[in-house]
Amino acid sequence: MKGVILAGGLGTRLNPLTKVTNKHLLPIYDKPMIYYPIETLKKGGIEDMLLITGPEHAGDFTNLLGSGREFGINLTYKVQDSPDGIAGALSLAENYANGEPITVILGDNIFTEKFNLNNFESGAKVFLKFVPTPTRYGVAELGKDKQIIGIEEKPEKPKSNFAVTGLYQYDHRVFDIIKKVNPSQRGELEISDVNNAYIELNALHSELVKRYWVDAGTIKSLAKATSLLSRLQNEN
């Protein structure tokens, strides 16, 4: 199993903090944000990782993380020339995946849970979290048997409170699926469209996130993540 960390984007929701740096390099409590997705993959049993980021701050990531030896991982880098959505960034990992299943994590997603990521074999898997206000996320619509029957991206009227977090697993078919995805109204290749394609193949599975999850892409959630990690670490 290989891991892919998506750490591109302009981070406009975090301005002015991101005026001169990538949001994934901002501190959360006592370490840079990017450390947390690396730790999630490593704790899940993954040691080979590809980090995809934009050209503006790619050198900052290599200066900070190097080869990954400090973390006990093998780290490779890929530059995304222009931000065109999560699925667009993921498409750059096709050669790296080399036909193997991959685990994908967004660089601003923080989990406090240990997942067994190496037990994935085929299809796709998303990790769901019950949230009180799901309108800013991809939202899973569940059928009678609790299977996902559809995913809507940032719906005004969500059909459930189960948000699709920024942790995904895919088999080799994902890259062919991405090539068939059309840009959304935002001009991006949406990961929800990729996941819906797996639903049509009856191949999308899900797992509930039991512990804490924070999408630290806004000022408010960045502060929440810092407060949470500070409290959890000081409890130990």
Kindly report the CATH number assigned to the domain that includes residue 8.
Answer: 3.90.550.10
pLDDT, tens only, 141-152: 999 888 999 999
What pLDDT, on a 0 to 100 scale, did the predictor assign at position 121? 86
Task: Choose among 90, 4, 3, 105: nearest CA to 45.
Answer: 3
36: left (phi over 0), alpha (psi -120 to 50) or beta: alpha
* Of 235 and 89, more confident: 89
What pLDDT, on a 0 to 100 scale, did the predictor assign at position 11? 81
Residue 93 is classified by DSSP as G
pLDDT of 8 over the 70 cut: yes
3-state DSSP assignment of residue 56: coil
Token pair for residue 191?
């990961």
Mean pLDDT of 67-96: 95
Under 8 Å between Cβ of 4 and 104: yes
Domains identified in the chain, total number: 1
What pLDDT, on a 0 to 100 scale, did the predictor assign at position 31? 96
pLDDT band at 236 (very low <50, low <70, confident <90, very high): low
Under 8 Å between Cβ of 163 and 138: yes
Residue 152 lies in a domain: no
Residue 99 lies in a domain: yes
Under 8 Å between Cβ of 46 and 53: no
Reported for 146-149, long-range contacts at CB under 8 A and 24+ positions apart, including other chains, are 147/206, 148/195, 148/199, 148/204, 148/206, 149/199
- 57 Cβ contact partners less than 8 Å away, ≥ 6 residues apart: 21, 22, 25
Residue 156 lies in a domain: no
Residue 157 lies in a domain: no
Computed over every residue of the chain, the mean pLDDT equals 94
Token pair for residue 29?
């409590």
Residue 205 lies in a domain: yes
What burial letters (b/e) apply to 28-59, b meaning 16+ CB within 10 Å? bbeebbbbbbbbbbbebebebbbbbbbeebbe
Domain that holds residue 118: 2-130+165-235
CA quadruple 229, 233, 235, 236: dihedral sign: positive
Secondary-structure breakdown of the chain: helix, strand, coil percentages, each rounded to the nearest 5: 35, 25, 40
215 vs 121: CA distance, rounded Å: 26
Residue 154 lies in a domain: no
Residue 13 lies in a domain: yes
Residue 146 lies in a domain: no
pLDDT, tens only, 156-215: 999 999 999 999 999 999 999 999 999 888 888 999 999 999 999 999 999 999 999 999
Share of the chain above pLDDT 90, in %: 86
